Amino acid sequence: MTLDRLPASYRDPSGFLFRHQGTLYRYVAPPYAPHYDALSSSGLYEELTAAGLLIPHAEVPSWDDATRSAHRILAPEPVPFVSYPYEWCFSELKAAALATLEIQKRAFARGMILKDASAYNIQFRRGRPILIDTLSFEVYREGAPWIAYRQFCEHFLAPLMLMARVHADAGRLLREFLDGIPLDVAARVLGVRGLVSPAAFIHVRMHARSIRHFAATDAAPPPRLGSMTPRALLALVESLAAAVGGLQWRPHATQWADYEQTHGYSTETLEAKQRVVGEWLARVRPSTIWDLGANTGAFSRMAARGGASALAFDADPGAVELNYRQVAAAAEAGVLPLVMDLANPSPSLGWNLAERMSLVERGPADAVLALALVHHLAIGHNLPLELIASFLARLGRHLLIEFVPKSDPQAQRLLRSRADIFGAYERASFERAFEAHFRVVERVEFPGSSRSVYSMVRDV
């Protein structure tokens, strides 16, 4: 019998993930045994899981010939939602980078080392970054360099530098460069900014140059050159930690103001809207909710307080950044802010288009919240209401959606500089489009506002 391997789990010969009767397991291959055993016997597993830096697992008995061939079968604690680095804001990627280096330092203190530093090995669980690849550790051999140095620079340091120094949207490059942003590309984009900062100059620019130089030679390698002292290795890791720690990005002051007011209506209307959302949450009681166009996550937070696990999606990296800062500052467990452009959501990516899942593949959620969103898609992206309805129907069973008519000041802003080609954008066609997929449970109007909120459910 062969095991049902996860499509993304093919790189590392130490083992792989597979599914059996709906549960996720990790196969530990026999050649990796000394390293796996050292993880436990060194006390590192205990330390990292206690610190919330490594996903806990249970060792389970094998059940057939295929599983008996393993050194161990592990049942890792499941991660509620798998997110990808190209969906993270600056501070999420930075937190993931610092967690990776912290793990490396703690491993090193116990005679082990990270053999990879992939950003995809980090996930956000209860608002905090955690390493999910239990097989990332190796027994440290004195003199060995840090094999994962280049990977760390490409997955973490270079994208963070681009986000902090060039543009916050540069994180999206990770969607194209699935193995991390090549250092020569990063060096080119950084330009003179890569000369000013010592960390950028050394770890990106010179590093890229060295890679390029040696890629062009094919002489046989002398065996001893790759040797370095433990102190040198530690200094390298400290230098990377200082470089990452020193990177800052702040959304513009104007954006702050925008986020503060978030909407286009009065306090009374806002309170009425909060009441509607509160009542809907109490009735639907979702365990997972996707808040689309979440801004800084006010409504995601309401859902999380009710016990739901909320994903707060927004296309604006500034809004996601501010949202994540709240999550980190208050150690919130129930909200995960992610950068997502709904007009171009995360697709299936990688080898055989199966390595990284599309947004839709990672659903559906119990409930979807789409407040102040439809006019952005319909007017901002020329999307017909029928297409918006059929897309949202794929994301979740319950839907709370706001219709913003063309007369609304926010909709008018979108029409300010363009011809009004949206004759079909009106309430009746909105209702028709959504009723093709959903049953309307309730429609709420707000006094003093032309907007309305619909609670809907998909019956099939």
Partner 1 sequence: MMEPGAVRADGSRIRVALAVMGLLAVIAPPAAHAYIDPMSGSIVFQVVVAGILGALLTIRRWWDSAVRLVRGVWARVAGR
Which residues of this chain interact with partner 1, rule CB under 8 A? 11-14, 115-116, 145-151, 198, 201-203, 206-207, 209-215, 217, 219-229, 231-236, 238-239, 241-242, 245-246
| Residue placing its CB nearer to partner 1 in the complex, 264 or 350 | 350
CB crowding 412-426: b at 16 or more within 10 Å, else e = eebbeeeeeebeebe
Contact call for residues 131 and 54 (beta carbons, < 8 A): yes
| Residue placing its CB nearer to partner 1 in the complex, 125 or 356 | 356
| Residue placing its CB nearer to partner 1 in the complex, 227 or 262 | 227
We find the least distance from the C-beta atom of residue 118 to partner 1, in angstroms, to be 8
Contact call for residues 304 and 292 (beta carbons, < 8 A): no
| Residue placing its CB nearer to partner 1 in the complex, 26 or 273 | 26
CB crowding 110-135: b at 16 or more within 10 Å, else e = bebbbbbbbbbbbbbbebbbbbbbbb
CB crowding 36-55: b at 16 or more within 10 Å, else e = bebbeebebbebbbeeebbb
Burial of 433 per CB tally in 10 Å (0-12, 13-18, 19+) = buried
Helix, strand, coil percent values for the chain (each to nearest 5): 45, 20, 35
Contact call for residues 44 and 86 (beta carbons, < 8 A): no
We find the least distance from the C-beta atom of residue 138 to partner 1, in angstroms, to be 9
Centre a 10 Å sphere on the Cβ of residue 392 and count the other Cβ atoms it contains. Answer: 24
The most distant pair of C-alpha atoms in the chain lies apart, rounded to whole Å, by 79
| Residue placing its CB nearer to partner 1 in the complex, 200 or 393 | 200
Contact call for residues 437 and 389 (beta carbons, < 8 A): yes
| Residue placing its CB nearer to partner 1 in the complex, 206 or 444 | 206
Q: DSSP secondary-structure letter at 19?
A: E
| Residue placing its CB nearer to partner 1 in the complex, 190 or 276 | 190
For 432, the token pair is 């028709």
We find the least distance from the C-beta atom of residue 59 to partner 1, in angstroms, to be 23
For 383, the token pair is 């999307």
Contact call for residues 106 and 53 (beta carbons, < 8 A): yes
We find the least distance from the C-beta atom of residue 355 to partner 1, in angstroms, to be 15
| Residue placing its CB nearer to partner 1 in the complex, 186 or 312 | 186
| Residue placing its CB nearer to partner 1 in the complex, 116 or 408 | 116
For 274, the token pair is 């909060």
We find the least distance from the C-beta atom of residue 29 to partner 1, in angstroms, to be 11
Q: Which residue has the tokens 């389970």?
A: 60
We find the least distance from the C-beta atom of residue 147 to partner 1, in angstroms, to be 4
Does residue 364 have a cis bond before it (omega within 30 degrees)? yes
- For residue 125, what are the CA distances in angstroms to 181, 225, 323? 25, 40, 16
We find the least distance from the C-beta atom of residue 155 to partner 1, in angstroms, to be 11
We find the least distance from the C-beta atom of residue 141 to partner 1, in angstroms, to be 10
We find the least distance from the C-beta atom of residue 235 to partner 1, in angstroms, to be 4
We find the least distance from the C-beta atom of residue 276 to partner 1, in angstroms, to be 47
We find the least distance from the C-beta atom of residue 180 to partner 1, in angstroms, to be 10
Strands 309-314 and 335-339: parallel
| Residue placing its CB nearer to partner 1 in the complex, 135 or 385 | 135
The radius of gyration computed from the CA coordinates of the chain, to the nearest angstrom, equals: 24
Centre a 10 Å sphere on the Cβ of residue 108 and count the other Cβ atoms it contains. Answer: 18
| Residue placing its CB nearer to partner 1 in the complex, 79 or 234 | 234
We find the least distance from the C-beta atom of residue 250 to partner 1, in angstroms, to be 20
Judged by DSSP in three states, 301 sits in helix
Q: What are residue 356's DSSP bridge partners? A: 349
| Residue placing its CB nearer to partner 1 in the complex, 222 or 447 | 222
